[in-house]
Structure 1
Amino acid sequence: MHSFPQHLLDGHAHFMSGRYAREKGRIRDMAEAGQTPTTMIIACCDSRAAPELIFDAGPGELFVLRNVGNLVPPYEPDGNQHGTSAGIEYAVKVLNIANIVIMGHGRCGGITAALDPKFRPLDKGDFIGKWLTMLGDLPSQLGQNGLLTPSERQTAMERISIRNSIRNLRSFPYVAALEEEDKLAVHGAWFDISTGELWVMNESGDFIRPEL
């Protein structure tokens, strides 16, 4: 048995003496009363794009679900295990979330793999390759445009993927119904790791930088 990573123990000690000490009462109240976040963030697993850090959120403020490429599968109640779909179901039906944000980011490794025609499975199980198939032929369509530079193609696919996930999210009947009743809002966002800038989708589907 290996020793628990020391940097994690050091981080926890800093948490206890810092944020926990400052917010002890609120955190203990949440432990008793349960969580009541109003916003769900579906983000990538990438360690450089942590929603709680990007949005400066405290404990209990965000319901965060992370997966490779911040992808949302279409609504498929077929008996298979869908971790992302389960998270959406819980957020909407139990927590009564008011906002769902699909947040992509620059330099996404999952999107890089989806765009790479030479991509090969990392393992015989090929979980990543199968997961990325929900993008369909969007990567190949984009790859056929020879006028795009590699970085332009990467950014474009990251943002197209967000729109695709929003389309899949709206295939969940209860999401579509609540959105129609103005009880749930669906948003798209893209985070630039190199600059720290956040781009959000407007009503036309364009990504814009909001005034800070």
Structure 2
Amino acid sequence: MNAIDELLQGYGRFRAGYYPQKQELFDRLSREGQSPRVAMVACCDSRVDPAIILDCSPGEMFVIRNVANLVPPYEQAGTYHGTSAALEFAVLDLQVEHVVIMGHAYCGGIRSLITTEPAPGRQREFIGPWMDIARDACKVAFDRARADAAHPARECEQAGVRASLDNLRTFPWVRDREAEGRLQLHGWYFDLDQGELLALDAETDRFEVIEAPIPESLERHAL
């Protein structure tokens, strides 16, 4: 069975199981449109799906995925601004109450910044300029990690989250809403090895493990 056939089998399970069970939800979303309260900037990495990690139903979270979960700084030059456009829609049109930047372990984009000798044939036309968004922050984190005998890749992945939060605050409509208390910004990090979610503490500037609340039902979104 090839990869597309496997996907279509998954679609069959969705049509036969999940969709009928959630018919009322889909009907409501069709009638009323979406009104998520959270926008999530996450990585396109296939191992890290925010909806699965956070057990979300359709309509609960507006997800913006790109290479290395980066937010570029606010600027009006150029032509194409996919991440900025999605953020603009989430904040100004959907009026989300929270924006979360979620980094993760083993991020290929971040690790490309700390690989000293790229493998032959790995030059890319678009990834390099995009990753420049986090280059300076990762260099500082990498040098500090080596001096402190810390884990360089993890420190750089988390530095990318911090850099994106800083860039997020360069958007005037984000900065204004945060100052007015209408919007909260969060930095998260998912540890693939332990299955743990960490949050950036604004006071200590450190990522701390989030203690998961006791679930109301482990079967909430089970098929």
Q: Mark yes or no: TM-score above 0.5.
A: yes
Shift of 1:203: 2.5
Shift of 1:194: 1.6
Secondary structure at the aligned position of 1:191 is classed as: strand
Q: Which amino acid aligns with 1:117?
A: T
Instruction: Indicate the residue corresponding to 1:187 in structure 2.
Output: 186
- Which region of structure 1 is more displaced relative to structure 2, 133-142 or 188-197? 133-142
Equivalents in 1 of 2:161, 2:21: separation in Å?
36
Equivalents in 2 of 1:4, 1:100: separation in Å?
33
Change (3 A) 1:139 1:201: closer
Shift of 1:134: 1.1
Secondary structure at the aligned position of 1:5 is classed as: helix
Secondary structure at the aligned position of 2:140 is classed as: helix
Change (3 A) 1:141 1:201: closer
Equivalents in 2 of 1:126, 1:140: separation in Å?
21
- Which region of structure 1 is more displaced relative to structure 2, 66-75 or 194-203? 194-203
Q: How large is the RMSD of aligned CA atoms in angstroms?
A: 1.8
Instruction: Indicate the residue corresponding to 2:152 in structure 1.
Output: 153
Instruction: Indicate the residue corresponding to 1:88 in structure 2.
Output: 87
Shift of 1:148: 5.5
Does 1:42 find its partner at 2:41? yes
- Which region of structure 1 is more displaced relative to structure 2, 179-188 or 16-25? 16-25
Q: With the length of structure 2 as denominator, give the TM-score of the two structures.
A: 0.87
Unpaired runs of 5+ residues, structure 2, are 213-223
Equivalents in 2 of 1:207, 1:13: separation in Å?
40
Shift of 1:210: 2.0
Q: What does 1:5-24 align with in structure 2 at a 5 Å threshold? A: 5-24=4-23
Secondary structure at the aligned position of 1:200 is classed as: strand
Instruction: Indicate the residue corresponding to 2:175 in structure 1.
Output: 176
Unpaired runs of 5+ residues, structure 1, are none
Structure 1 runs of 4+ aligned residues shifted over 4 Å read none
Q: Which amino acid aligns with 2:117?
A: K
Equivalents in 2 of 1:177, 1:130: separation in Å?
29
Change (3 A) 1:192 1:66: same
Does 1:207 find its partner at 2:207? yes
Shift of 1:126: 1.6
- Which region of structure 1 is more displaced relative to structure 2, 26-35 or 46-55? 26-35
Q: Which amino acid aligns with 1:57?
A: C
Change (3 A) 1:135 1:4: closer
Equivalents in 2 of 1:26, 1:141: separation in Å?
46
Superposed CA deviations along residues 86-141 of structure 1, whole A, max 9, x for unmatched, are 11001001100100000000011011101113237735x62011101112423333
Cα contact 2:142–2:155 (8 A) shared by 1? no
Instruction: Indicate the residue corresponding to 2:122 in structure 1.
Output: 122
Superposed CA deviations along residues 171-207 of structure 1, whole A, max 9, x for unmatched, are 0000000000100000000001121100011232321
- The percent identity for this pair of structures is 38
Instruction: Indicate the residue corresponding to 2:218 in structure 1.
Output: none
- Which region of structure 1 is more displaced relative to structure 2, 156-165 or 135-144? 135-144
Shift of 1:4: 8.3
